[in-house]
Amino acid sequence: MTAADAARRLPDIPTLRARCRAIAAAEALINPSGEYAYHSYSADWSPTEEVFSVDNGSGDDLSVVFGPAGAYIRVFSHESPMSPYGDEDHQPWPGVLDTVPAAFQRYVDEPAFVDEGGLPRVTGCLWRAADDTRWHTGDITFPEDEEDADGAEWLLELLLEGTPEAFREWAEDYYEQPVDLDAVRRVFETA
């Protein structure tokens, strides 16, 4: 599954925001120190924006920015065949960022989403305007024979599933400890 496939499965913006908050809050219960947290949520990323972040600590990350214009998702899988670091010119894969609307263009060069040289750390990108009825991606020709060419499948997996059961399964694997499903359900119900 690529970002284009995920675009057809992602929920509306309010539902996605609630899932992001729930996932970050549920992980905070398991890991209250936040050290090596995989998921985090900042309700005050800027005066008008919130951000959900995924960071596996191995060079792969995802950011979801919620703001007045809508929502913007940036996926980066460092081992992806679509990584700009695999291109000799060090450019994002053709089509990934080419049609990002003006309302979201500032996120393309956002310091938190680029490397020290200003190169966008992106292998997949999705956006949805606040008044839109669907998610969008660029017009991309994906590498052949690559099921998860841009890393969207595994980086967006919990957001696509969006259930306490899916979170529990992930958390027990990641933290290698039992996780109380009822507690996770309560977090998801209040997010």
Going from N- to C-terminal start, the domains of the chain cover 3-190
pLDDT at position 163 is 97
**pLDDT score for 86:** 86
Instruction: Determine the pLDDT at residue 148.
Output: 87
DSSP symbols for the chain: --HHHHHHH---HHHHHHHHHHHHHHHHHH-TT-TT-SEEEETTSSSS-EEEEEE-SSS-EEEEEEETTEEEEEEE-TTSTT-GGGSTT--PPTTTTTT--GGGHHHHT-GGGB-TTS-B--SEEEEEETT-SS-B-----PPTT-TTTTSHHHHSHHHHH--HHHHHHHHHHHH-S---HHHHHHHHHH-
Predicted model pTM: 0.95
Residue 145: per-residue pLDDT: 82
Residue 144 pLDDT: 86
Going from the first residue of the chain to its last (191 residues), give the mean pLDDT of each consecutive group of 10, the final group possibly shorter. 95 98 96 92 97 94 97 96 88 96 96 94 97 96 88 95 97 96 96 83
